[in-house]
């Protein structure tokens, strides 16, 4: 079984992101940030 997570930026609607263990927090448990505007990514419902 493959589990895929889809992220979307709430600010610019971008879907490209980077992850870092330095960015992990309670509000950002996956450590994903938008590569364009550096906003915390949200899980997208597909």
Is 25 inside any structural domain?
yes
Is 16 inside any structural domain?
yes
Q: Which domain holds residue 16?
A: 7-43
Q: How many domains does the chain have?
A: 1
According to the model, what pLDDT value does residue 5 have? 87
Mean predicted confidence (pLDDT) in 24-29: 94
DSSP bridge pairs for 40: 33
Give the C-alpha separation, 41 to 23, whole Å: 11
Two tokens at 14?
């971008």
Is 2 inside any structural domain?
no
Is 29 inside any structural domain?
yes
Mean predicted confidence (pLDDT) in 20-30: 95
Distance of CA 20 to the CA centre of its chain: 10
Give the global pTM.
Answer: 0.78
């Amino acid at each position: 079984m493959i589990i895929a997570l889809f992220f979307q930026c709430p600010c610019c609607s971008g879907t490209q992101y980077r992850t870092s263990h330095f960015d992990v927090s309670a509000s950002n448990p996956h450590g994903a940030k938008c590569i364009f505007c550096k906003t915390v990514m949200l899980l997208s419902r597909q």
